Chain A
């Protein structure tokens, strides 16, 4: 048994380690870039909504359309569809670099909607109270809205990371490697099922770690009592289900 394990590690260990590393890079780098875009977009969507702090119906509708259109693409279709654009800005349409533009284009609108909804969960009276203090809109956003929404935004990070992890499995189609690609190649084409099994187990572990770290961080930054948080996270769970269905 031990010999078999050693033989397996000798043959596939390096492959799986490299795949794990590629996956982690492919998840973290585009997600970080996407948050820079998605946070801004989410705040603008929130502020320009009807009845919000800076209503701008046309801008809101246009941004909403763009977000919805990008979210309509299945990831694998988007990835292939924008290859010319990817080549243009990354110099290559394949490999890990080639996955960054499609992942960013896919994740940013998703994040924008998550952020928009996290902001919308901040109680209306809290926002009005700081408005009634004479706070400017930037002040309201940076000193009240974002800090109040932070626990919800952090919980959203887990949902986004896990979705992006799912997308990276498809990135194998443009030769980006990663665990998903390994699982498909070895499990489906080469019928070396042990490799697929191990790849899947590593993916499960990554998902668990993402969820646990984000939950812990969200609890750490949340200063509401348990009962209030429970109600809020129940709302958040419903929102996540709705977001994933879309």
Chain B
């Protein structure tokens, strides 16, 4: 379980400038698929990047399975990061490594070497995302959707408890988006991994999330089950995202 408490992130900007995150509190249950949605600049990427400490929060705490992780550094931080995998909008693959070597990278990061068993496991994961025959290809020989599936296989190589998806489908066409979302949902069902989905698309939230939090100007303005929020959006931001407001008004 991830409990985010009073999380604030201020960038070293002018005094009184709005905070990227302003006193955000949020609980993400184990096994959930949680959507965090908002317009560009709402702070949703910052929030998810604080969860694996790619960015350091200014104040507040993030408690993962009872442990506050905001103070972690060095080896403790690296071993924590292996429990929290991340996939990115532009895939973040290494262009000079084969697909297989990319998927093996978490093993290399963890132990400094890649064993035959590791490679075996990586091939299993590639098989699961339907790309086993591309193991020796390079990322640039693959389509965007395929590259994102490789990134998912790499994320799973850590055997993570949480997967953070930062706009993971925003660069993809609708067909690839559906493939990726189905894959994430299937992984969630099969392994029980908790998935946190950052997006500005209500369509994505509707398709795979159970719960959703709406962010606006760094604050959580609404949260609840997807069914509730969709049926009866309270905040202006949620209404805009659901296109329930007259756009020409």
Contact = CB atoms under 8 A, between A and B. Distances in A.
B93 interface: yes
Contacts of A95: none
Interface string A116-135: 00000001011011111111
Interface residues of B, number: 33
B109 A139 contact: yes
Nearest to B74: A136
A144 interface: yes
Contact of A133 (B89, B91, B158): B158
Interface in B2-27: none
Interface of A is mostly: helix
B52 interface: yes
Contacts of A150: 96
Interface residues of A, number: 25
Among A123, A132, A143, A151, which residue has the most Cβ atoms of chain B within 10 A? Answer: A132
Given A139-B112, A148-B94, A134 B88 contact: no
B44 interface: no
B88 A133 contact: no
B109 A133 contact: yes
A148 B92 contact: no
B108 A139 contact: yes
Nearest to A223: B138
A143 B113 CA distance: 11
Contacts of A148: 94-96
A130 B96 contact: no
Given A123-B95, A133-B109, A136-B109, 5 more contacts: A125-B90, A125-B91, A129-B151, A133-B82, A134-B81
Q: Which 5 A-B pairs have the closest CB atoms?
A: A129-B92, A135-B109, A125-B92, A134-B81, A134-B82
Interface of B: 52, 54, 77-82, 84-86, 88-97, 105-106, 108-110, 112, 138, 140-141, 151, 154, 158
Interface of A: 123, 125-126, 128-136, 139, 143-144, 147-148, 150-151, 221-225, 228
